Amino acid sequence: MPREREIDMAGRQPQRRPVVALYERMVEAVRNGTYPPGCTLPTEPRLAAELGVSRPALREALILLQEDGVINVRRGVGRTVSHHLPPRGFEYLKPVEELLGEGRQVATTALARTYEEPTDFSTQHLLLPGTCRVRFWESLVEVAGLPSCLTQEWAARDELLAELLPAAAEAFDGPAAGSSSMLRLLLAAGRELPLTGGSTVVATTLGRQRGAQLGRPADTPAVLITQVVRLDRTPLLAAKHMLPPGAPALPVWQAR
């Protein structure tokens, strides 16, 4: 998927590149059946007219779609939509409850919504001063009625959030906070911003406290995912996701 982003340094609000927005529009059009798998796309002039975009921008978006395997190009045939679309996997920045709950009933329960002094984890990933207090959320994600993920999330300082993404700061104090992860609200508030994330995945055991929260023995093996979400180079959220055996698989798509 396209990874280039531009930042408007003159103002405080970064903007997506038009080509990135066009790429995402076309992927959504493929998935909702406007351009179904196997169909041949219209010619460039017609497609540009249908989408209301310039041909240079369209051409760049088509190149990205071809690189990501969304469309195929054959001489004498043109551009066709792939029959096997890349799945929306963990390489996309999405809330963990959406990744785990695709096609299933999912519920997020708040275990903690509070402020705490920086931990080693939050200080390292959010670049926090040692004297501040930051927002901390702990949530249990259930999929089809089964405890499937224990999520711990730390936000950047309220002052920084209020400056860079005030809508997120407001959402964190709103009615949706009790039934949503912090990342879900952050992504909704920053829908038009170039938010990026990085994660690591390791094998571990649940331990006594997490085991009790997930209804499993302390020595149960588990997958621990750590995640940091940034706006440009500024970290806004750090998280840990603990997945026990039996949790739905997290799809990961890889491309050349």
In this predicted structure, what is the pLDDT of residue 24?
Answer: 79
In this predicted structure, what is the pLDDT of residue 88?
Answer: 60
Return the ∠ at Cα 183 (arms to 178 and 184), rounded to 5°. Answer: 65
**45 alpha-carbon distance from chain centroid:** 33
In this predicted structure, what is the pLDDT of residue 8?
Answer: 37
What is the Cα–Cα distance from 64 to 70, expressed in whole angstroms? 9
What would the pLDDT profile of 14-43 be if each residue is shown by its tens digit?
A: 444 577 778 878 888 887 889 998 999 999
The pTM assigned to this predicted structure is 0.68
Element (H, E) at 170: helix 166-172
CA 152 → CA 84, 110, 113, 135, distances in Å? 35, 10, 10, 11
Beta bridge partners of 142: 107, 147
Positive or negative, the Cα torsion across 98, 100, 101, 107? negative
Q: Report DSSP state, residue 23.
A: H
Residues lower than pLDDT 50 in the chain: 1-16, 256
Alpha helix (H) residue ranges in the chain: 18-31, 44-51, 55-67, 96-101, 120-126, 158-164, 166-172, 182-189, 207-214
Output phi, psi for 232, to 5 deg. Answer: 60, -120
In this predicted structure, what is the pLDDT of residue 229?
Answer: 94
- Asked if 66 contacts 226 with a C-beta cutoff of 8 angstroms, the reply is no
| Of 68, 61, 58, nearest in space to 20 by CA | 61
In this predicted structure, what is the pLDDT of residue 75?
Answer: 85
SS3 assignment, position 100: helix
Q: Report DSSP state, residue 145.
A: T
In this predicted structure, what is the pLDDT of residue 10?
Answer: 35
What is the Cα–Cα distance from 92 to 85, expressed in whole angstroms? 14
- Asked if 249 contacts 199 with a C-beta cutoff of 8 angstroms, the reply is no
Q: What single-letter amino acid sits at 33?
A: G
Structural domains in the chain, CATH included, are 18-81 (1.10.10.10), 96-243 (3.40.1410.10)
